[in-house]
Amino acid sequence: MFIFYIFIKVYLYLLVRGVMSFFYQNKVKKRRFFKGNPEGMFRHSKRYI
């Protein structure tokens, strides 16, 4: 039961990470398209990952 609980927590963590990275990549693409300064934006947003 405990191993099953750990498996569910890891699965949820990976799911959240995948969704977050998916939205983050979309945001970076839009910012790069609008602002043209992806390096500064990436350095700024690295803390939130």
Looking at the 3D structure of the chain, how many domains does it have?
A: 1
CA dihedral 28, 29, 35, 38 (to 10 degrees): 50
Question: What is the CB neighbour count within 10 angstroms for residue 5?
Answer: 9
pLDDT of residue 39: 54
pLDDT of residue 48: 47
pLDDT of residue 49: 45
pTM over 0.75: no
Residue by residue, pLDDT tens for the chain (49 residues) are 788 999 999 999 999 988 888 877 777 666 555 555 555 555 555 554 4
Identify the CA nearest to 49 among candidates 22, 30, 31, 29.
Answer: 22
d(CA 37, CA 28): 10
Q: 15 is in which domain, residue-wise?
A: 2-48
pLDDT of residue 35: 54
Question: What is the CB neighbour count within 10 angstroms for residue 6?
Answer: 9
